[in-house]
Structure 1
């Protein structure tokens, strides 16, 4: 029963709630947690920035990687305190595609995602990241509010 639990993880409050729920569940079933964080591709306008200051895109990417590594280390400390094994992975690319690739590679039994309401209620009509993951992930998905 859900021994291998993946969490779509970033700095958002929704992802933190998803992680805490996954941690609670892993504690109950003696499971393990896998954090998956996507370092999204830089926006197209960064090509203009790199023309003027070629070092800036790499600097920003490295800062983002260091930020997420620190976030993962904090989550790892929480998991260790709860007696839960935690592994983590940073993947570069498009958010949904990269998360699905990570899920295909890890083969978790459950993916935990934080649900968020988009301003203006657009998510009701278009579907957000969690909706796309629920449609395409090859495992069960738990959405946490």
Structure 2
């Protein structure tokens, strides 16, 4: 049925609900699970526009990348605690929906599992989060929205 399942995680409860469903599917199919956390890239120009400037200011990409790694590591721990096997984690920068779709294609994922709403949502996705809506609309493989 499924050989490679991509789960987009962002630290939100709905992304961890998506992980739970992916683990259930893995137990039925023995698929490999790819965990992916995507953070928005900030240019140095964007960083310079910050209102608050602490003395020891890290570049936003560095901070966001570290947070994304923590999210992926936490998701891997949760997956293993819940009996998952064959779990790999990845962190990428960019527009989340585009990165998720491209990553799925590059890794040959045959299912993408996403939460309905992540840590941020906007008016574009009134009932379904904007990222999950874009992924479901543009992915070339099936998408399970949890």
**TMscore range, shorter length:** 0.7 to 0.9
Aligned positions of 1:3-22 closer than 5 A:
3-22=3-22
Cα offset, 1:32, TM superposition = 1.3
Shift of 1:126: 9.1
Q: Which structure is higher in strand share?
A: 1
Cα distance in 1 for partners of 2:27, 2:128 equals 35
Q: Which residue of 1 aligns with 2:90?
A: 89
RMSD of equivalent CA atoms: 3.1
Q: Could you list the per-position Cα deviations for residues 7-64 of structure 1 after superposition, in whole angstroms to 9, with x for gaps in the alignment?
A: 11111111111011111111121111001111112386423349x7897352x32222
Structure 1 residues 92, 22: CA separation in 2 closer, same or farther (over 3 Å shift)? Answer: same
Query: 2:78 aligns to what?
Result: 78
- Are residues 127 and 66 of structure 1, via their aligned partners in 2, closer, same or farther at CA, if it must alter by over 3 Å? closer
Counterpart check, 1:106 vs 2:107: yes
Deviation at 1:133, TM superposition (A): 0.7
User: How much has 1:90 moved relative to structure 2?
Assistant: 0.8
d(CA) in 2 for partners of 1:126 and 1:113? 11
- Counterpart of 1:32? 32
Q: TM-score, normalised by structure 1?
A: 0.80
Structure 2 residue 133 is matched with structure 1 residue 131: yes
5+ residue gaps, structure 2:
none
After TM superposition, the score normalised by the length of structure 2 is 0.80
Return 5+ residue gaps in structure 1 as ranges: none
Greater fraction helix: 1
How many equivalent residue pairs?
142
